[in-house]
Amino acid sequence: MRKHILTATFLSVFSAAAVAGAPGGEKDAAAAMTSGTMPSFEVVDRNEDGKISAEEAGYVRGLSVQEADRDGDGMLSPVEYKAAIEHLTKG
């Protein structure tokens, strides 16, 4: 129950930030989520370093680097991102 409340709070805060229309990848990520899809890895990886940071992940509704980071490096690889998105979209 507590996890659901935390997830709902997280979704509310970060979906509002994404929809605010900040420049760059945030706007693209918000547009993808509004259309009912999740943004691609390339859209979320704003600095194009091949990994998604906690800051970059914050623009994707429900995405948590802490939960999805399987190798413990504090970032999401394309494989980790794909697995997290699949988990999120299963509902």
Spell out the domain ranges in the chain: 2-89
According to the 3-state scheme, what is the secondary structure of 4-58? Answer: HHHHHHHHHHHHHHHHCCCCCHHHHHHHHHHCCCCCCHHHHCCCCCCCECHHHHC
pLDDT value of position 70: 97
Query: What span, in angstroms and rounded, lies between the C-alpha atoms of 90 and 17?
Result: 23
Q: Which CATH class is domain 2-89?
A: mainly alpha
What count of Cα atoms within 13 Å lies in the side-chain half-sphere of residue 56?
Answer: 23
**pLDDT score for 37:** 81
Q: Is the CB of residue 85 less than 8 Å from the CB of residue 62? A: no
Name the stretches of the chain with pLDDT < 70: 1-36, 91
pLDDT at 86: 94
Q: Which two tokens stand for residue 63?
A: 């995405």
Q: Give ∠ CA 72-64-40 in degrees, rounded to 5.
A: 100
